[in-house]
Amino acid sequence: MRLARVPDLESLQLLLDIAATGSLGAAARLRGISQPAVTGRMRSMETLVGFRLVERGPRGSSLTSSGKLVAEWAADVLAAAAQLQGGVESLRADHNSRLRVAASLTFAEHLLPAWLAELAHRQPDTAVSLSAMNSSEVTAAVLAETVDLGFLEGPTVPRELGSQTVLRDRLLLVVPVGHAWARRRTPVTGDELAATRLVSREPSSGARQALEMALGSRTLAPPLLELSTASAVRAAVSAGAGPAVLSELGVRDDLQRGRLVDVPVSGLDLSRALRAVWPKGRRPQGPARELLAIARR
């Protein structure tokens, strides 16, 4: 619907002020603007509607019969606009008081706890819920708009999502201390890695997708074990199950404590981007924007 002859809300309010005060000057003072500005606004409104609204006389200004009708309708319009604004402000306050986040396990276990602690310090009245899931599920949640912001580690981002890299990570080949590769003096090749049955995450996990992309045309051998969390993979490797390829962020503590051994890999780029995602065209606002700023820093 095109409202070609409907004045703006500020002009309608000025019309009511003139009716109430009986003076262009008094209406101007009420609104904190000059009298010529009020006069110009009334002339523009009369041009828009196509008839006179205000008559000026020796005792001040008054509305024409048509102006009085427009003023009656304007009062209803302004009341409805005030109700609309109140509703929008209420919704904005509701959105700013909560934040729903979906994150892949690397983010949820190793990064977001510190980020959310800082967000709580900055915005203590914001209630935050964090759902940990694999990267494919994060993508689905963001597209369905059941969360306000997502964090994922997959190698690609669907074109329906806006994204921003917040951190760089790399995948490491790790083995238990007693594994033959723990004493190996030469790097494992891409062909060897592809042919080795690994302790692995599920196919939709970001780490597994990144490894498969890094291997290129090589076909990854069927997993020795397929587990749904990175912590379960780390525990299985520590227990001697076999090698795994995991995020450096996730295995740093195990490497420092000597529970796992990092084995060099040659000929593969195992670096990757960790990203925040949101529906394309809807830049994060409120607490989501604040969390994104914390993550980027």
Strand partners, 160: none
What gap in Å lies between CA 2 and CA 139, rounded to an integer? Answer: 38
pLDDT of residue 94: 56
Residue 10: enclosing H or E segment and its boundaries? helix 9-21
165 three-class SS? strand
pLDDT tens, position by position, 229-251: 999 999 999 999 999 999 999 99
pLDDT of residue 268: 95
Q: Residue 99 phi/psi, 5° resolution?
A: -145, 125
Task: Name the pLDDT band for 154 (thresholds 50, 70, 90).
Answer: confident
260 three-class SS? strand
Strand partners, 263: 173
0.75 exceeded by the pTM?
A: no
Give 2 or 234, the one with higher predicted confidence.
Answer: 234
Q: Residue 258 phi/psi, 5° resolution?
A: 80, 15
pLDDT tens, position by position, 66-88: 989 999 998 899 888 888 887 67
Domains of the chain: 9-94 (1.10.10.10), 101-274 (3.40.190.290)
